[in-house]
A and B are shown apart, each in its own frame.
Chain A
Amino acid sequence: MVNLIRAELAKLLGLPTAWIGLAVGSVVAPLLAVLNAGAVRAAIAAGRYEFSADLAYSSIQIVMLGGLILGVVTVSSEYTPTSDDAPGARQITTTLLAEPRRCRLLAAKAIVLVLVVAVQGTVTAVVTLLVVEHEHGGTYPPAEPARVAGAVLEWVLLSLLAYALTLIFRNGIVTLTLLVVNSGVVSVSWLLMKVTPLAAYLPDVVGKHMYLSDLGDVRIHPVVAGAVLLGWVVGLLVLAARLFERREA
């Protein structure tokens, strides 16, 4: 299993698209914190910013995109045609010949994803918080390690969610459109929350309760939020694994 994990790690980090994910996650968040500093400072001065601890965590939300990209790429790269000469040929054939036990393969990929996203998320979150601290001379209430852990946990779980969805769709574009558009442009879940408060338990929004305090009318305890997101992820992973076991490569 150790060999398998090492192979999957080399495979993931050998992809240029994976480095795009890592770069998006690691560089953009601290950069945004710096760029936004002026506007945020003005808002605080004018008394329009109640939860200044959230200003750090709001700017690190973008790190999530890096994890999503990694979760997608680790699967979609398997299904990319290897060349124009052989449109049916894909890396997944090599992967399954090297490790025909499919559940072990999925587990190894998941472990690698968790490791990479956790390391990247922790480093980026700490750097971004330090930037915010430097720009604004601290936050109120002060930044707590538990909230950083909550944020990193959300990204890890969301990357696993992207991984499971891409396994189900066998197509990275569908997952990326679903998750990125939903989180960045128009959130269907936020719109649904206007209709029913239960929408706050949808997987793309519930995790935010682990580290953001100002999330509209619905209050969900961080532990409950984490458990709900974990439930979504486990459910979708089980479905994805069953499909992957049964489908032909």
Chain B
Amino acid sequence: MITIDGLTRDRGKTRILHEVTFRARPGRVTGFLGPNGAGKTSTLRLLLGLDRPRAGTALIDGRPYAAWDRPLTVTGALLDGSGAHRSRTARAHLRWVATGNGLPRSRADEVLEIVGLTADAGKRAGKYSLGMSRRLGLATALLGDPRVLILDEPINGLDPAGIRWMRGFLREAAAEGRTVLLSSHLMGELAETADDVVIIVAGRVVADGTLAEVVAGHPSLEDAFLAHTAGEGTSW
């Protein structure tokens, strides 16, 4: 369970998050939807302890991310890029991450298998395509077999087969009882994958509920989203 309460953050003199509050529940895929620059990544980075909030709390199963010992065994996160130094091979990258969290080195090959990178395990991360980098990032998130998954724009850079694979993967993770929180600016994708939807616009949560609740009264999630973002002068 992810619990976010009153999360507020400033960048310089601008307030970029205004008391963001929502939940992501186990066994469900929660879609965090918003235009570029709405505060999705900022919220996720606060949740992961990478940045500091001005106010509010973000908890994973009742504790801040940084309070967990061996955090990768609880939470797996995918942010921008592969997260691997470009001169390291995928396998070497996964091995040091595994070692640091007390996981067996053999986990590296297991997660490479899951994301379909076994054949490229010995290739340097800097040589990876965008899609392969995303898969390596996901492999890193899966190392500790975590019960919470936090994924920032996971389908960015994936080809159609990769997108279909990711959709199936996320559904399966939720079916296994995991908490899945993914951000996206692609409404069609979220409408296919998410059980619950949180819409954030200009740093404020404007809608929060099950997919059916958020869409209610609109022909599609896209229409619901546009109705919520009307007048915000979105950049895309």
Contact = CB atoms under 8 A, between A and B. Distances in A.
A14 B88 CA distance: 7
Interface string B189-201: 0000000000000
Contacts of B99: 3, 6-7, 10
B49 A248 contact: no
B87 A83 contact: no
Contacts of A17: 87
A91 B83 contact: yes
Given A6-B100, A11-B96, A96-B49, 18 more contacts: A3-B100, A3-B101, A3-B102, A14-B88, A14-B92, A16-B87, A81-B86, A82-B83, A83-B86, A86-B81, A88-B81, A91-B83, A91-B85, A94-B84, A97-B71, A97-B83, A100-B48, A100-B65
B97 A7 contact: yes
Nearest to B87: A16
Contacts of B157: 85
Contacts of A85: 81, 130, 133, 157
Interface in A87-132: 88-91, 93-94, 96-101
A185 interface: no
Given A3-B100, A101-B66, A89 B50 contact: no
Interface residues of A, number: 32
Contacts of B84: 82, 91, 94
Nearest to A98: B100
Contacts of A90: 81
Contact of A248 (B52, B79, B80, B133): B52
B124 to A, nearest CB: 10
Contact of B50 (A7, A82, A91, A93): A93
Nearest to B83: A94
Contacts of B93: 94
Contacts of B48: 97, 100
Interface residues of B, number: 38
Nearest to B143: A98
Contacts of B183: none
Given A10-B95, A249-B50, A86 B101 contact: no
20 contacts: A3-B99, A3-B100, A4-B100, A7-B96, A10-B99, A16-B87, A82-B81, A85-B81, A85-B130, A89-B79, A89-B82, A93-B79, A94-B84, A94-B93, A96-B50, A98-B72, A100-B65, A248-B51, A249-B50, A249-B51
Identify the 7 closest CB pairs spanning chains A and B, nearest first.
A89-B81, A7-B100, A86-B81, A100-B66, A94-B83, A89-B80, A7-B99
A98 B65 CA distance: 10
Given A15-B87, A96-B50, A83 B128 contact: yes
B179 interface: no
Contacts of A8: 96, 100
Nearest to B82: A82
A179 B79 CA distance: 35
Interface of A: 3-4, 6-8, 10-11, 14-17, 77, 80-83, 85-86, 88-91, 93-94, 96-101, 248-249
Given A98-B71, A100-B71, A93 B126 contact: no
B57 interface: no
A99 B48 CA distance: 11
A6 B101 CA distance: 10
Nearest to B92: A14
B77 interface: yes
Contacts of B49: 96, 100
A47 B53 CA distance: 69
A91 B87 CA distance: 11
A203 B215 CA distance: 65
Nearest to A78: B85
B140 interface: yes
B85 A80 contact: yes
A20 B126 CA distance: 19
Nearest to B102: A3
Nearest to B81: A89
Interface in B88-137: 88, 92-93, 95-97, 99-102, 125-126, 128, 130, 133
Given A82-B82, A82-B85, A97-B71, A14 B96 contact: yes
Contacts of A96: 49-50
Contacts of B83: 82, 89, 91, 93-94, 97
Contacts of A7: 96-97, 99-100
